[in-house]
Amino acid sequence: MKIIHAASEMFPHMKTGGLADVTGSLCKSLSRFGHDVSIFLPGYRKIIESPEFAKAKPKVVLHVELGDEYLRGEIYAMPLGKRQTMYAIRRDEFFDRSNPYGSFNRDYDDNDRRFIWYCKAIVEGMRLLDIKADVFNCHDWQTGLAPLFLRVAEEEYNTSLALKTFFSIHNLAFQGLFPNSSFRYTNLPSEFNELDGIEFYEQISLIKGGIFFSDKIITVSRNYAKEILTPEFGCGMEGALNTRSSDLIGIANGIDTDVWDPSVDDRLPAKYSLSNLEGKRACRSHLLRKLGLAETDNPVYGIVCRLTEQKGVDILLSQMSFFSKRDCRLVVLGTGDPKYERSLKRWAKTHPDKIAVCTVLNEAMSHLVEAGSDYYLMPSVFEPCGLNQMYSQRYGTPPLASDVGGLHDTIVDFRQDAEGGSGLLFEPSEQAFRNALEESLSIYGMKSEYEKMQANGIKRDFSWTNAAKEYEALYSESI
C-alpha cells in the first residue's frame, strides 16, 4: 500500500511527547512490512539545521490560500531509509522556531494560521507530488483539517489523492480550539462553521474536523476508545464521537524496541537482560549517585512525564511524605506547569538525599530513570495509551499506575494475577495511590514476589510489530 502519515511530531526529528514516539515507530514498522510510507512534518528549525537536511531535495513550491492571502512554502524530501520518505514543509515564518506549539508554557498566538496553513499545505503537497495514496493517516488536532481539505481538493481538481482517510486521536484534551474568527483562514464555505462542522461552542475546533471528516477514527487504546464516548473522558467531544462510534477503533500503541531495549541501550551505564540483572543494579547506583541521593534498601520510585494535571501530579504531590517518611527514593524527570515544578522542587530542596527533581527534557536521562528505578509511577487522571508503563515493564521496573485508558490495557495487576501480573493498578485517587505505594513497599520486601512481578513485565512483548499489524489490517480492510 501507499501510506501517507501527517503529524506535527516524529521521533527523532521533533518530540514533545508520545505522539513523536508513535509516528516514528509506526511508520518504521509499516515500511518494514513492505509498504511505501511518506510522512509529512513541519520544517521546524531542528529539522532544517540537521545534517540530513543538507542532503534533502527541494521538491515543490506551494502557494497556499490562507484567508485573503496566498502564502508560499516549499517541500523538501528526506529519505529515511528503505521505503520511507519524510516531506518537510518549510515556511520559516511559521516553523523556524525551536518549540513546535509555544514557549514558556504559552501557545503561540498564530497557531491557528500555522496549523490551518499546514493542513492545506500537506494536501497541496500530495497533489503536486502526485503521490496517489491508498491511505492518508493524520494525527491529532494539528492535522485535524487535512482529511476535509483533501476531499475538498479532490472535488476541486477532479482527482483522487487518497482512497481512505484515517484520523488518530492521541489525546482528546488537546483540541486545537481557536476563536471563531479564525474560520476565515480555512476558506471553507460557511456551512462547515456549524454544529456538524468544526464549530465548537462558538469557537472552532480543528480536532472536530478529523472526527467528522475522516473515514475512520483511530485512538491509541481499546479502553480509551470506550472512555471517550462518555462525558467523563470525552472532553466535550463525546457527542461528536458518538455519532461516529461505528467508525471508531482502538489500537494500543507499541514501543520501539530498537530504542527501548536494556540489553543494547547505549544510553545506560550498564546493559542488562532478564537472565542477568546485574546491570540494572549498576544503573540504580549510578542514578542515585548522579542525583546525590543516599543508598537505601527500600525502593527507588521513578517518574518521567509532562508535569500536567493529566499525569496525576496532584495525586503524586499529595503523597510526598511517603517518600520522606518511609525512607524511599523518588526521582522525577519532567517539565511543564510551573506550579508543579515549583512544588516538586521544594520537596527536593527539603529532602535532598531522598527526592530528586530534574525539570529538563533529556532523552538519555529518561532511559536511566526507567532502568535505575525499582518502581515506575503513573498516577494519571486519564491516559489515552501511555508509553512509559511499557518502557518500564521492559526495563524490569514494575509500574504503579491508574486503572484508566491504555494503562488498563497494557498492565496486568499482580494482585489479580500473580502468574502474569507485571504492576499494580489503582483508581486515580490520593487514597488508592497511597495504598498502592504501601503495597509496593511490602511486595519489594518479599524478594521472590517482587522478582516474579519484574520478570513478568520483562517477558511481555510490546513491540510495534503487533500494533502495526492491526493498523495494516485496518487499512487493508478499509480500502
Residue 361 contact among ligand GLC, ligand ADP, none, beta carbon within 5 to 8 Å by kind: ligand ADP
26 or 89, CB closer to ligand GLC?
A: 26
Half-sphere CA count of 138, side-chain side, radius 13 A:
31
* Distance in Å, CB of 134 to ligand ADP, minimum: 28
Half-sphere CA count of 19, side-chain side, radius 13 A:
25
Is 388 a binding residue for ligand GLC by CB under 6 A? The answer is: no
Helix (H) or strand (E) holding 346: helix 338-350
The footprint of ligand ADP (CB under 6 A) covers 17-19, 21, 304-306, 333-335, 361-363, 366, 386-388
Is 387 a binding residue for ligand GLC by CB under 6 A? The answer is: yes
Is 386 a binding residue for ligand GLC by CB under 6 A? The answer is: yes
Judge residue 368's burial from the number of C-beta atoms within 10 Å of its C-beta, 0-12 exposed, 13-18 middle, 19 or more buried: buried
Counted residue by residue, the chain has a size of: 479
C-alpha distances (whole Å) from 291 to each of 72, 277, 282, 352, 370 are 48, 22, 14, 9, 15
* Distance in Å, CB of 337 to ligand GLC, minimum: 15
* Distance in Å, CB of 303 to ligand GLC, minimum: 14
Considering only 19, 119, 198, 228, the residue that binds ligand GLC (CB under 6 A) is: 19
Site for ligand GLC in 410-429 (CB under 6 A): none
Backbone conformation region of residue 140, classed left if phi is above 0, alpha if psi is from -120 to 50, else beta:
left
Q: Which residue number has the CB closest to ligand ADP?
A: 18
Give, in degrees to the nearest 5, the angle at Cα 56 between 51 and 62: 130
C-alpha cell at 56: 534533502
Q: How far is CA 320 from the centre of its chain?
A: 27
Query: Contact at 8 Å (CB) between 301 and 288?
Result: no
DSSP 294: P
Is 15 a binding residue for ligand GLC by CB under 6 A? The answer is: no
Please tell me whether the peptide bond between 338 and the residue prior to it is cis, using omega within 30 degrees of 0.
no
Query: Contact at 8 Å (CB) between 143 and 12?
Result: no
Which residue stretches of 206-277 are H helix?
206-213, 222-227, 238-243
C-alpha cell at 337: 506547569
Name the one range near ligand GLC by CB under 6 A: 227-235, 338-346, 382-390, 443-451. Answer: 382-390
Of 79, 36, 33, 42, the residue nearest 62 (C-alpha):
42
Is 22 a binding residue for ligand GLC by CB under 6 A? The answer is: yes
Residue 388 contact among ligand GLC, ligand ADP, none, beta carbon within 5 to 8 Å by kind: ligand ADP
* Distance in Å, CB of 168 to ligand GLC, minimum: 8
Q: What is the distance between the alpha carbons of residues 471 and 466, in angstroms, rounded to a whole number?
A: 9
380 or 397, CB closer to ligand GLC?
A: 380
Please tell me whether the peptide bond between 352 and the residue prior to it is cis, using omega within 30 degrees of 0.
no
Amino acid type, 413: D
Residue 312 contact among ligand ADP, ligand GLC, none, beta carbon within 5 to 8 Å by kind: none
147 or 399, CB closer to ligand ADP?
A: 399
Q: What is the distance between the alpha carbons of residues 214 and 191, in angstroms, rounded to a whole number?
A: 17
Considering only 384, 396, 399, 423, the residue that binds ligand GLC (CB under 6 A) is: 384
How many other C-beta atoms lie within 10 A of the C-beta of residue 49? 11
* Distance in Å, CB of 409 to ligand GLC, minimum: 11
Judge residue 96's burial from the number of C-beta atoms within 10 Å of its C-beta, 0-12 exposed, 13-18 middle, 19 or more buried: middle
Residue 363 contact among ligand GLC, ligand ADP, none, beta carbon within 5 to 8 Å by kind: ligand ADP
Q: What is the distance between the alpha carbons of residues 200 and 204, in angstroms, rounded to a whole number?
A: 5
Residue keyed to cell 532544517: 48
Is 383 a binding residue for ligand GLC by CB under 6 A? The answer is: yes
Residue 146 contact among ligand GLC, ligand ADP, none, beta carbon within 5 to 8 Å by kind: none
Q: Which residue number has the CB closest to ligand GLC?
A: 18
* Distance in Å, CB of 283 to ligand GLC, minimum: 24
Residue keyed to cell 482527482: 159
Residue 127 contact among ligand ADP, ligand GLC, none, beta carbon within 5 to 8 Å by kind: none
Is 171 a binding residue for ligand GLC by CB under 6 A? The answer is: yes
C-alpha cell at 169: 486521536
Is 209 a binding residue for ligand GLC by CB under 6 A? The answer is: no
Strand partners of residue 7: none
Considering only 56, 150, 188, 220, the residue that binds ligand GLC (CB under 6 A) is: 220
Residue 299 contact among ligand GLC, ligand ADP, none, beta carbon within 5 to 8 Å by kind: none
305 or 424, CB closer to ligand ADP?
A: 305
Residue 277 contact among ligand GLC, ligand ADP, none, beta carbon within 5 to 8 Å by kind: none
Residue 80 contact among ligand GLC, ligand ADP, none, beta carbon within 5 to 8 Å by kind: none
Q: What is the distance between the alpha carbons of residues 109 and 102, in angstroms, rounded to a whole number?
A: 8
Residue 220 contact among ligand ADP, ligand GLC, none, beta carbon within 5 to 8 Å by kind: ligand GLC
Residue 123 contact among ligand ADP, ligand GLC, none, beta carbon within 5 to 8 Å by kind: none
213 or 471, CB closer to ligand ADP?
A: 471
Using CB under 6 A as the criterion, which residues of the chain lie in contact with ligand GLC when the complex forms?
A: 17-19, 22, 170-171, 220, 253, 383-387, 406
